[in-house]
Amino acid sequence: MSTDRYTSPLSERYASKEMQYIFSQDMKFSTWRKLWIALAETEMELGLSENGKPVITQDMIDEMKEHVNDINYDVAVAREKLVRHDVMSHVYAYGQQCPKAAGIIHLGATSCYVGDNTDIIIMNEALKLVHKKLVSVIAELSNFAEKYKDQPTLAFTHFQPAQPTTVGKRATLWTQEFLMDLEDLEYVQSTLKLLGSKGTTGTQASFLELFDGDQETIDKIDPKMGFDGCYPVSGQTYSRKVDTRVLNVLAGIAASAHKMSNDIRLLQHLKEVEEPFEKNQIGSSAMAYKRNPMRSERIASLSRYVMVDALNPAITSATQWFERTLDDSANKRLSVPEGFLAIDGILDLCLNVVDGLVVYPKVIYKHFMAEIPFMATENIMMDAVKEGGNRQELHEKIRQLSMQAGKTVKEEGKDNNLVDLIAADPAFGLTKEQIEANLKPELYVGRAPRQVEVFLRDVVRPVLDAHKEELGVTAEINV
């Protein structure tokens, strides 16, 4: 590791080796060479000739195929210092290795032929990896939801105790948002197309010249490279709106991860749920006792970066002039790779956190019982009416006693004594034992367990079954 210059934390600390390779120099420039081979093969197959002789021969293509991966970077770097053009530098370097084919490499193409088509290919590969990890996050969450579908817990609205739910039901809310992200990812990925071979302003004028104006032949010039097709019209580049759509998918995943991580952080503060904490992990340099939710905090931190990063391609797309301006290039080199490297790190963290989440039922029960007397008052009132009480009078008494109990909790720091107050009031005609029979947590979770079962069966399971070959991803967290 270099220590005398800046290195990106995304590659040093957060992103996986797989995602880093997708955005590596080797991946980029070997793809350039594959595109040059595809173009040459297409031109040869379409009969490109001069004075009755083929311009491109199989010997040239075979020579190019021999040097797809052994990229002579030193030659390209030296050439770029001279000509200040990255594509032409690599055309030159490739030609040095392929003397027979040197004259036909990049024939009829513009820089965006390799640059833009490669960008689409790389984003598509990166989306495949994101898809794989996202499916595994959904699977881990579904396992957690199933395990804790019957575990009652206080729900919170406005972060104030509200009608109870279950730990598993809460997890389905996180799961559902990730499922929405998966749908968005699959749709956007299904619409990706290559730029193809469009020339300097998208008119294919150079190919019209090469093929002597043969329109039907030029219609077949676009290489497919594993895609269903190419964008039918373009300027010099594919529309930068494509990058916007892709990074919006990443921003959506980041938003879902951020929401989940915030919930976990708050639950860890309550000591109800805790993210994994390793034996030798240090929570604070000063406070040795601390167990900070640092993984969830890192998810939130990286997620904010991805959500903001999505503005880059949106602004770039909006500010492109006519058929193309180059102010997209430097921004795009940063925003797209780093958005993917960050979301890769986020998904690895999500996998790690969800897989190791610890639930503390006794703490949950303690918090539940501190609040449930307030929530049980309607049931208590109904039981008292059955014993002959007046509903309206009892409602007022419960209101007054609830205020009194609330004052005891907040001002005196004592336990909630509402049950004792009600039991001591003869208007209710109920013993403490009768009242406490209404305080069982499972009586207040509504249909939450059933909702979890149906959601997992009807919504999650079909998705996991459809992508079962992608399941089983494990995350390696470096720091």
Least Cα distance to 48 among 100, 114, 104 occurs for 104
From the candidates 158, 234, 261, 402, give the one annotated as an active-site residue: 158
Provide the pairing of β-strand 160-166 with 358-359: unpaired
Helix, strand, coil shares of the chain, percent, nearest 5, are: 65, 5, 30
Asked whether the beta carbons of 207 and 171 are under 8 A apart, the reply is: no
Q: How far is CA 148 from CA 115, 286, 438, 452, in A?
A: 49, 35, 22, 9
Residue type, 353: V
Rg of the chain over CA atoms, in angstroms? 31
E strand map for 417-474: none
| DSSP codes, 319-347 | H--TT--GGGHHHHHHHHHHHHHHHHHHH
Is 284 a known active-site residue?
Answer: yes
Is 158 a known active-site residue?
Answer: yes
State the helix-helix crossing angle for 377-386 and 391-412, rounded to 10 degrees. Answer: 140
Residue 269: is it exposed, middle or buried by C-beta count within 10 angstroms (0-12/13-18/19+)?
exposed
Q: What are phi and psi of 154, to 5 degrees?
A: -65, 135
Q: How far is CA 320 from CA 143, 328, 333, in A?
A: 46, 7, 16
Residue type, 213: G
Q: Which residues contact 86 (CB under 8 A, 6 or more apart)?
A: 76, 80, 111
Q: Which residues contact 64 (CB under 8 A, 6 or more apart)?
A: 33, 36, 37, 40, 94, 98, 101, 105
Bridge partners, residue 468, by sequence: none
From the candidates 284, 296, 317, 367, give the one annotated as an active-site residue: 284
Asked whether the beta carbons of 209 and 141 are under 8 A apart, the reply is: no
Distance of CA 146 to the CA centre of its chain: 23
Bridge partners, residue 78, by sequence: none
3-state secondary structure of 358: strand
Q: What are phi and psi of 167, to 5 degrees?
A: -60, -40
Catalytic residues, by residue number, are 158, 284
